[in-house]
Amino acid sequence: MRTLATQVKLRRLIRTFGESWTRLASEPLERGVAGSVIDRLLGLSAELRVSWHRESLARPLETPLEGYVAESMRMIELAIAGLQQAGADLDLLRGDFEAAALPLEVFLRGLDAEPALQRSA
């Protein structure tokens, strides 16, 4: 399975989330500015979903694995959405985001390595 486009989108989202989190945690931003930061993250998350949908059509995963990807993306989006709530615990949300996004990145890399592993077995 080729997931390169999805991996690129996920890495961009991870990097942008980190930069945005630092900005939100260090500076009290006006609601409008914070809203635009969150909108950007949600836009990147939507791009990630579209990319995954396209790549997974070529070779669908088994139901439990597809469920893992869907749940990871859902957790990513919930963590992003939580950033815009007044009084949100930014450290907790960063942890939630990373707990979903980082293992998903490793999982996607593994999907691309799968055919090579089958050939060598």
Which of 107, 41, 52 has the alpha carbon at shortest distance from 78? 41
| Tens digits of residue pLDDT in 58-91 | 888 999 999 999 999 999 999 999 998 888 899 9
Alpha helices in the chain (DSSP H): 4-26, 31-58, 63-82, 90-120
The mean of the pLDDT values for the chain is: 89
Check: CB of residue 96 under 8 Å from CB of residue 80.
no
Domain spans of the chain, in order of start: 4-113
Q: Supply the pTM of this predicted model.
A: 0.88
CA–CA separation, 100 and 121 (whole Å): 30
* % residues pLDDT > 90 (the chain): 68
